[in-house]
Amino acid sequence: MIDVDSLNVSFGQTSVLESLSITIQEGKFVGLVGPNGAGKSTLLRSISGALSPDAGQISIDGKPISTLGSRAQSRLVSVVAQDTAPAFSFSVRHFVEMGRTPYRSKFSPPDERDRQRVDDALSRTNTTQFADRSIDELSGGERQRVVVARALAQNTPVILLDEPTASLDINHQVELLSLVADLTAGGKTVVAAIHDLDLAARFCDELCLLADGSIVDRGSPAQVIETTAVERAFEIPNVVTRNPVTGTPSVTAIERPDEPSSLPDRIHVLGTGPRTARLLTILSTTDAELSLGPVPPGDIAAVTASDLDMSVQQAPAFSTLDAQHRHTLRSSIEAADAAVLVEETAAIPIEAVSGQLRTLPTAAVIEEDQSKSTTREAMHDVVLTDDGTSDTVLDALTALSVDSTSDTATVSPSS
């Protein structure tokens, strides 16, 4: 267990961590997430004993780290740091053997148990094939796995990793984080600073969101990775959805519109599929109250709308809307100040709501390929092409807040 109590760290006059307290239970994989400069590395360096705090106490398994000698510290904590290029040219095996230093007397060669640990660490990190090569011949990603191997050979109850996946390709990112997650099953406690929020949410048991040297939020990935907390910490509009494959939170940062658009207060969106999901994502960065439907359950637009806490009218796919659903749809449109028709599919009975639509300012989204566009564009006040940036889409929809049905404006994506 790691216990950080009222930690203060300053560099010169600048306070970097302020009265930070956190307890990390044994066997947990905790991800430190947060913007650049939040203090993640500083916290890791404090826990490892590499940095002496100005105030506060850090204990590992009840032992205050500041009272321990470096050998005792190295038996408790291993570190996979961000900058891993060694100053000298070692063979990979020799480098990984250094992880055994806290267990060996100064001049004794590695014994059988040391060799076993080193072989095991090389094998688990998929680096056995590099054992006899010089570490400075390896690529950044290969070297990173070797540094993790050294930490495994060190066989400590706590492992700290600072951006362990930064230089890894997607395959090795997943491989390394699953390996690290597996270590916790064996009782090890792992704390890692991870920039990639999706990866952190996928592999960590808990996340700790840091900003400006303080903990903004802490809990399960689903608790911590939510739009408001992410926006507060990273200062960027974003949408949190669930990754359809892993089921874990996934963050999409959205470029901030140039100026706040003045949109209608309530917009009803008619559409299904990825184009609708994208439009909903863009609209979700505004204050407009959004509703969607009818949409079949499980459709990506329905899932996105639910993730964004919008009102969604679900209706079975491949069937005509029954009277009840038609009534609900008419009511939703009547309650809106504007409507956007993204895609005219069989799921959307336009004829059933044409009366309601005629009373509202409406926009139609057409495909970039103009030849595929339908007569819909003639029926709407604003026409959007579906590959516009957030700015062009919101600028175009701003026209809907002007209660005019006379002029049709066509908005193309900016080049």
Tell me the closest approach of the beta carbon of residue 180 to ligand ATP, in angstroms: 18
**Closest to 173 measured CA to CA, from 140, 206, 151, 150:** 140
Q: Which is nearer to ligand ATP, 53 or 293 (CB)?
A: 53
Instruction: Give the helix ranges, DSSP H, for 134-285.
Output: 140-154, 170-185, 197-203, 221-224, 227-234, 273-283
The CA–CA distances, whole Å, from 35 to 80, 81, 225, 232 equal 20, 18, 13, 10
Q: Which two tokens stand for residue 150?
A: 């050294």
> How many residues form the binding site for ligand ATP (CB under 6 A)?
11
The site string for ligand ATP over 149-188 (x = CB under 6 A, - otherwise) reads ----------------------------------------
Segment lying near ligand ATP (by CB under 6 A), choices 31-39, 166-174, 356-364, 376-384:
31-39
The site string for ligand ATP over 37-56 (x = CB under 6 A, - otherwise) reads xxxxxx--------------
Q: Which is nearer to ligand ATP, 36 or 324 (CB)?
A: 36
97 burial level (CB within 10 Å; 0-12, 13-18, 19+): buried
Q: Which is nearer to ligand ATP, 50 or 98 (CB)?
A: 50
Judging by DSSP bridges, how do beta strands 63-64 and 206-211 pair with one another?
unpaired
Q: Which is nearer to ligand ATP, 193 or 329 (CB)?
A: 193
Q: Which two tokens stand for residue 111?
A: 């014994």
Provide the phi-psi class of 379: left if phi over 0, else alpha when psi is between -120 and 50, else beta.
alpha
The CA–CA distances, whole Å, from 114 to 97, 98, 257, 332 equal 7, 10, 57, 69
Tell me the closest approach of the beta carbon of residue 372 to ligand ATP, in angstroms: 44
Tell me the closest approach of the beta carbon of residue 213 to ligand ATP, in angstroms: 7
3-state helix, strand, coil in the chain (%, to 5): 40, 25, 35
Tell me the closest approach of the beta carbon of residue 14 to ligand ATP, in angstroms: 6
Q: Which is nearer to ligand ATP, 140 or 244 (CB)?
A: 140
36 burial level (CB within 10 Å; 0-12, 13-18, 19+): exposed
128 Cβ partners below 8 Å, 6+ apart? 119, 122
Segment lying near ligand ATP (by CB under 6 A), choices 35-43, 55-63, 262-270, 305-313:
35-43
Q: Which is nearer to ligand ATP, 19 or 123 (CB)?
A: 19
Q: Which is nearer to ligand ATP, 46 or 281 (CB)?
A: 46
Only one residue has tokens 């055994």, namely: 100
Tell me the closest approach of the beta carbon of residue 61 to ligand ATP, in angstroms: 24
Segment lying near ligand ATP (by CB under 6 A), choices 36-44, 172-180, 349-357, 401-409:
36-44
* Number of residues that this document lists for the chain: 415
Tell me the closest approach of the beta carbon of residue 413 to ligand ATP, in angstroms: 33
Q: Which is nearer to ligand ATP, 20 or 312 (CB)?
A: 20
Q: Is the peptide bond before 102 cis (omega within 30 degrees of 0)?
A: no
189 to 218, contacts with ligand ATP by CB under 6 A? 193
**Closest to 233 measured CA to CA, from 212, 260, 250:** 212
Question: Cβ atoms within 10 A of the Cβ of 83, count?
Answer: 6
Tell me the closest approach of the beta carbon of residue 15 to ligand ATP, in angstroms: 9
Q: Which is nearer to ligand ATP, 195 or 330 (CB)?
A: 195
Which residue among 4, 16, 118, 288 contacts ligand ATP (CB under 6 A)? 16
Enumerate binding residues for ligand ATP (CB under 6 A). Answer: 11, 16, 34, 36-42, 193
